[in-house]
Structure 1
């Protein structure tokens, strides 16, 4: 079954802002020049390579999203695949007789042009009645033809070339047994092009880059993959997502929109309102990037402007940012809460000692303090099994699930919470971590004692 492409319009709402950040994550890194070493190995997220290169390199040619949904009668599913299509830009110098020759650099008054791969935004849109997704579901092939364009500049020209690209979107839905009408939605995006390449940079010309999918229901809701209701946990655990991860992204906490991203996000991700615009390099260091970018020399800024139009926009943004906007990047308080108990009045008896000094509170001793874990007293020297919490751990913590570790210290923060510093058993760098005090930290409910007798 195939369906005509349509536009979901405002259905995706604020999810599109986050999707834009995903689309251009790492697009061009500070100092925003093509000559910088870290800008020579690009396109790290969401790359769906042509099958021939995928088979040779191990990079994926497809991504799969599986998520549960509870559609209401007459619900329509809107889907939007978004990606970048690499466009190779070469620079040519003008010669006598109207001829041109390729060059590594063309200096203009405001910029220095060099060869570079630009990213052209592209999308595939579709909509389908949810009731029509049973069986073989929907299959929508798409293709993009080769394209060449020339731009005349002072002293030469810019030539931009895009290679052909082919792919397919497949969407099916399977109703699950149970008291509620719940469907498992499977959406697959696949690069089906026949482009061959001897190097990754050539394969990227035929790849879907930063590929991600947005899904929206006109009636009904999706079920969170990270925090499902108890009755849906078993069905959620059976979902298989490959090279992408779906999160709820509806406005005001609604569950009618999903963003399936190659970057791990939490439900309802948001762009900080203080952010002045796209800086491409990261999402949490806007202040540093803005200051460092504004401090580039005039020649460095000319090189950045010639690297990419988006890099030029970053330079202009940093140069024109008013002080009050820069001040907002310094930090923001999202919420305040009252703190009571001893932690609310730290260091009452010795006011000359800062609250953050370990000697400020003699009532705690990380090396001797103990905490109850599943009815067992655990402290420094105890062996535990790591069970990271899904909602407060990053991806690296999750890789440690089930590993055994040695408790190095029991720590109390100023809010009264308890954290256990651990080193993972079998870690060859454990001794270095002890010497430097660089431990991994978990809360008591993220651990289990290995041996109650030993731990006590």
Structure 2
């Protein structure tokens, strides 16, 4: 497989374990009683029973491969593994909820095992054809004695899984070329549905957190989030069901895509300040870390007994150096040193932030003056009082698109922390413009979304 896929592994792992175990990381917590919500592909016998579950996912995206190129595919998912605590019962063993050995609890719990399916297919075979990659994952049972006792053991049990990857490509019409690639992931595992069967039963035969990594060495995928103008119609016709393809890797890298069950933006990254997985990427690391620190010794003991990954998390948080925790709080990614407004060419000393004003407060940078600053657009200096015609970009929402072609008056020129210029405007023909101006209520557009008049 390609090095690009390896570079994307950190993000893919975060997707793989999203929601695996949630704070407070104990099996007894109500939120951990309903797990496995993302990218779950159930066995067809369960999915077809009106449960609202599905046995397949589909990704469609545009790709520009080189002549003779191949597509590298990596399917990743979790296989459920039941961890059962058994105690001695006569001459045999029987399941028990938990045992405590030398002050450490061992409880019955569902774990997961990572699985990967790799394939390489030629685009020449996918165009007009249907590439099918079947796969099987063996079931099994492992028995492990619990150290310190002869009266209890751990039994780990997995059910066999079966599935298939289906891929095809079709040439795009028009002068630009390229291919429309379809990737379908199917769970074909047999499952004897029975009366009273529950979701928990079916999960033992499911592909969990299923996602695919696609790579085209020497070629390019087109972003579905922000496609080039010429491809906007074709990308709009792509149908993605239970998956969300995004570019992964460095900002200028377009040869690898992650088809994620979670909505992401292009080129997602794991923050450098993150010390490890907290299994909930929608939360802030600092909040979860601080909350975990407040757990009582009894709660931490229960979390450690729940899952090995929870035990590692607790240990990591307890031993987190102060400087690592500090990095999670109020991170400033860069500081700008300005030597003059580029539109005025004025020379001045580097700006020094005021110590009595937070970095995010507009007053922290005295060089910024929205009422007097200007920005150069199409060779015209635009400042407060300038008239412009609104040309909302394709990424704008409906409220902005309704204003396309209208004229407006610039009331302020703003520069955000990413060094992107924005204009605060009022509509020229709006009878309520004076009232909005008096209350400081504006409409905001990027410098690339207006035409100077």
Give yes or no for contact 1:253–1:268 (8 Å, CA) kept in 2: no
Q: Which residue of 65, 70, 78 corresponds with 1:76?
A: 70
Instruction: Tell me whether 28-37 or 285-294 shows the greater mean CA deviation.
Output: 285-294
- SS in structure 2 of the partner of residue 251 of structure 1: coil
Aligned match of 1:423: none
Unpaired runs of at least 5, structure 2? 342-350, 352-356, 364-368, 372-385, 403-410, 426-441, 447-453
Alignment partners' CA distance in 2, 1:320 and 1:191:
41
1:21 is aligned to: 14
- Structure 1 residues 99 and 219: CA distance shift in structure 2, 3 A: same
Task: Give the ranges of 4+ consecutive aligned residues of structure 1 lying more than 6 Å apart after TM superposition.
Answer: 338-341, 371-376, 400-403, 410-414
For structure 1, which runs of at least 5 residues remain unmatched after alignment? 1-7, 346-350, 364-370, 377-386, 404-409, 421-440, 446-456
Q: Aligned pair in 2 of structure 1 residues 373, 294: CA closer, same or farther (>3 Å)?
A: same
CA distance in 1, matches of 2:413, 2:83: 56
- SS of 1:177 mapped into structure 2: coil
CA separation of 1:192/1:402 partners in 2, compared to 1, >3 Å: closer, same or farther? farther
Q: What corresponds to 1:115 in structure 2?
A: 108
Alignment match, 1:190 = 186
Say yes or no: does 1:243 pair with 2:236: no
How far, CA to CA, are the matches of 1:50 and 1:388 in structure 2? Answer: 43
**Aligned counterpart, 1:279:** 278
Q: Counterparts in 2 of 1:18-97, with a 5 A limit?
A: 18-55=11-48, 56-95=50-89, 97=90
Q: Tell me if the contact between 2:2 and 2:217 (Cα under 8 Å) persists in the aligned partners.
A: no
In structure 1, C-alpha distance between the alignment counterparts of 2:240 and 2:388, rounded to whole Å: 33
Alignment partners' CA distance in 2, 1:401 and 1:41: 40
Equivalent-residue separation in structure 2 for 1:401 and 1:142 (angstroms)? 48
In structure 2, relative to structure 1, the CA distance for the partners of 1:90 and 1:443 (3 Å cut) is: farther
Q: Are the equivalent residues in 2 in contact too, given 1:373–1:444 (CA < 8 A)?
A: no
Distance 1:419 1:63 in 2: 43
Structure 1 or 2: more helix by fraction: 1
Q: Give the structure-1-normalised TM-score.
A: 0.74
Residues 226-250 of structure 1 deviation map (CA, whole Å, 9 limit, x = unaligned): 1111111111111111110111113
* 2:173 maps to 1:174: no
Q: Which segment drifts farther, 293-302 or 167-176?
A: 293-302
- Taking the TM superposition and a 5 Å limit, the aligned residue runs for 1:383-398 are 390=395
Distance 1:285 1:175 in 2: 43
Q: 1:160 maps to what in 2? A: 156
**8 Å CA contact 2:87, 2:153 repeated in 1:** yes
Taking the aligned partners of 1:401 and 1:260, their CA distance within structure 2 comes to 30
Map 1:357-396 onto structure 2 (within 5 A).
Answer: 390=395
Q: Deviation per CA, 1:60-110: give whole Å up to 9, x if none.
A: 211111111111122121000000011112211234x55322211212335
Cα RMSD (Å): 3.7
Question: What is residue 406 of structure 2 aligned with on the other side?
Answer: none
* Distance in 2 of aligned mates of 1:109 and 1:303: 14
**Residues 2 and 215, structure 2, Cα contact 8 Å, conserved in 1:** no
> Residue 331 of structure 1 corresponds to which residue in structure 2?
330
Does structure 2 conserve the Cα–Cα contact (< 8 Å) formed by 1:111 and 1:303?
A: no
The verdict on how the C-alpha distance between 1:414 and 1:179 changes in structure 2, with shifts beyond 3 A counting, is closer
SS of the residue corresponding to residue 288 of structure 2 reads helix
For 1:46 and 1:180, locate their aligned partners in 2 and report how far apart those are by CA, in whole Å. 34
Give a deviation string over 1:26-84, Cα, whole Å, max 9, x none: 11011110000110010111011111221221112111111111111221210000000
Q: Secondary structure at the match of 1:25?
A: coil
Confirm or deny: 8 A CA contact 2:165 2:183 kept in the other structure: yes
User: In the TM superposition, what is the alpha-carbon distance from 1:287 to its structure 2 partner?
Assistant: 1.6
Q: Deviations over 1:277-311 (max 9, x none)?
A: 11113354212222222332222122111111111
Count residues in correspondence.
385
Give, in whole Å, the separation in 2 of the partners of 1:165 and 1:372. Answer: 64
Name the residue aligned to 2:266.
267
2:95 alignment partner, one of 96, 102, 116: 102
1: distance between equivalents of 2:228 and 2:207?
34
2:433 alignment counterpart: none
**Distance in 2 between the 1:401 and 1:103 partners?**
61
